[in-house]
Amino acid sequence: MSPDTFEADLRASLKASRVPGHYHEGLVRYLVHRIPTGSFLATVLRNNLVGAVVLADPAGADPAGARHLVDIVRWLFEHAPHAAWGSEEAVDRWTARRAVA
């Protein structure tokens, strides 16, 4: 699959999902271009769900994260390459293979 097709498929699946829109660009940049995400998504990608819940504290900077954590994880499971997430090592490997522009 070409990078353009992969990106289009990700965008379409995100649009159809319950993942809040303000996470879409970060997820696409991470999965297509291997650019690290913000702290909340990084903890989710690393499978640090306790850390994600703490960062998504309803009184904190990202209250939508707590409400949509299951939606984000479900979308990752169904649409993201399994090699791109699930542990700190997987995320480090994914971003280490980032193409140098």
Q: Is the pTM of this model over 0.85?
A: yes
What confidence tens digit (pLDDT) does each residue in 40-98 have?
A: 999 999 999 888 888 776 665 566 677 889 999 999 999 999 999 999 999 999 999 87
- Per-domain boundaries in the chain: 3-96
- The pLDDT value given to residue 58: 63
Residues 29 and 35: beta-carbon distance below 8 Å: yes
- The pLDDT value given to residue 101: 46
- The pLDDT value given to residue 18: 94
Q: Predicted confidence band at 29 (pLDDT cuts at 50, 70, 90)? A: very high
- The pLDDT value given to residue 52: 86
Long-range contacts of 75-80 (CB under 8 A, 24+ apart): 75/13, 75/14, 75/17, 75/19, 75/27, 76/44, 76/45, 78/13, 79/9, 79/10, 79/13, 79/14, 80/10, 80/27, 80/31
